[in-house]
Amino acid sequence: MGLLQISVSVITALLIGTLTRGALRTYLLLASSVLAVYWFQPALPLRSFDFWLPSLSLALSILTWLVVFPSGEWRLRKNLIGLVIILGFATLIVLSRDLFPDPILTATIPPQFSQYLVFLLLAGLALCTFGWLARQRTWAIGGVIFLLIILLVVLKTPAFSLQTSIFVRTLANRPVENAEFTDLRWLGFSYIAFRLIHVLRDRQMGRLPELTLPEFVTYVVFFPALAAGPIDRAERFTRDLQNDFSLTQEETLLGGQRIVLGLFKKFVIADTLALVALNDALATQVRTTGWMWVIVYAYAFQIYFDFSGYTDIAIGIARLVGIKLPENFASPYIKPNLTQFWNSWHMSLTQWFRSYFFNPFNRWMRGLKTLPAWFMIFVGQVATMLLIGLWHGITLNFILWGLWHGIGLFAQNRWSEFIRTRYPNVGQNSRLRPVLTIGGILLTFHFVVLGWVFFALRESSLSWQVFQKLFNLL
């Protein structure tokens, strides 16, 4: 999100928060979010994909809603209005190509109306057939989760993304030699997919309340949290949405403070640090150990201020419309151990993995009753961190980053266990405690900083070179 998009989002949120209440607020939030799905999507070299990918985000949301929520006349009117809003705005965007010389809401010219009609027809047929056949059936919920995971794997694996781009280019009679794996940058899909999987899994476990189509789609593509999260929970989000809310002076002030803080973090601190932060080019250019540490530290702070800045902006804007999005960061760089770091870094993502992978996986391992405790801890932590790494991209460096943290968490767990059994009173020593805390913070911070060397660079060979320079091994 750029400054223009943030400004428009703030004004929209202020208007909605001030002027509307109840169902009208939900409809306007849905309309704004649908428009944002298209507007925030950057241009892609594949023609009209900046329209098709957002349309697929909406279609997948509708599909999930059809599969998850029961049939019948339940709130039919609200659902129909929701459908009209979604289709209405998508249609208006397509029609705008004939009314304006430049695209107004998409980055490039939207597709022709005839192509859009074919898409609507196919999507409508698929949604109706699948929704009718599959409603509330376990296989359908599993099928949609599988589809979302396949899409994530294709988008996150450079080789698969490249093959998909080549396939699309071949169909469109475009030169395949210009295909790149970055051709399919689907804005917000990682977050959208995780929100949808959360809803599908919660439905499987029977712990999801009924949501209308407008409420559900607003939750999935809520415009402040579309590009960079956080990943809220559907039942919590909807509770806020259904609450009677009118924007007070206090709420405006609190929301405004978060937005200003976020803007400062992102556009002043993070963007300045980005000039000297570790990247592929600097990693090869910097030769001295001292400067290498400087650019690695700069990256550590840049990624924190960038990401937490966006989170502050999202939380602040959401607050103006009465939605209290969950926090994503809680001073992660001053935590005395790695477990606490991961409880305070990208918290909504780690909570998602804890709920839908770590806990069920651990329960399954405990059920086997043959595995030693230390082994279960090791496998559980390494597998979870590996998946968190893969969520960022299916490349060797993200795998190494995941392993780095998984093994780190395991080592810290064993060390804590060792200290607890051998020296049970060490934490109560008032002289030793501050030393241990400060030492823990420094050690944890540097462990995380070194992990960013994998995260920031594309090639593991380059990361290895950086490590050599950091420790003067060249």
Partner 1 sequence: MRTYSLIFLLVLTSLLLPACASNTENAPVQAVENYLNALIEKDANRLTTLSCGEWEGDAMLELDSFQAVTTRLEGLACEQTGTDGDTALVLCNGSIVATYNGEDQQLDLSVRTYQVVQEGGEWLVCGTR
Footprint on this chain of partner 1 (rule: CB under 8 A): 42-48, 77, 80-81, 84, 87-88, 91, 95, 98-99, 101-102, 107-109, 112-115, 172-175, 177-178
Spatial neighbors of 394 by CB under 8 A, at least 6 apart, are 153, 156, 157, 158
Cα–Cα distance between 433 and 347 in angstroms, integer?
A: 27
* Tokens, residue 376: 């279960």
Spatial neighbors of 2 by CB under 8 A, at least 6 apart, are none
Closer to partner 1 at the Cβ: 100 or 146?
100
Residue-wise burial string across 33-59, b where 16 or more C-beta atoms lie within 10 A, e elsewhere = bbbbbbbbbeebbbebbbbbbbbbbbb
Please, what is the minimum distance in Å from the beta carbon of residue 82 to partner 1?
A: 10
Spatial neighbors of 380 by CB under 8 A, at least 6 apart, are 358, 361, 362, 365
Please, what is the minimum distance in Å from the beta carbon of residue 84 to partner 1?
A: 5
Closer to partner 1 at the Cβ: 20 or 79?
79
Please, what is the minimum distance in Å from the beta carbon of residue 85 to partner 1?
A: 10
Are residues 286 and 235 in contact, defined by beta-carbon separation less than 8 angstroms? no
Active-site annotation holder among 198, 346, 392, 446: 392
Is 198 one of the annotated active-site residues of the chain?
Answer: no
* Tokens, residue 66: 């059809």
Count of Cβ atoms closer than 10 Å to residue 471 Cβ: 12
Please, what is the minimum distance in Å from the beta carbon of residue 108 to partner 1?
A: 5
Cα–Cα distance between 38 and 61 in angstroms, integer?
A: 15
**In a 10 Å sphere around its CB, with 0-12 CB exposed, 13-18 middle and 19+ buried, how is residue 434 labelled?**
exposed
Closer to partner 1 at the Cβ: 77 or 137?
77
Please, what is the minimum distance in Å from the beta carbon of residue 345 to partner 1?
A: 32
* Residue whose tokens read 């607020």: 25
Closer to partner 1 at the Cβ: 169 or 258?
169
* Residue whose tokens read 């400060």: 438
Cα–Cα distance between 443 and 4 in angstroms, integer?
A: 40
Please, what is the minimum distance in Å from the beta carbon of residue 178 to partner 1?
A: 6
Cα–Cα distance between 103 and 105 in angstroms, integer?
A: 6
Closer to partner 1 at the Cβ: 23 or 254?
23
The residues carrying an active-site annotation are 392
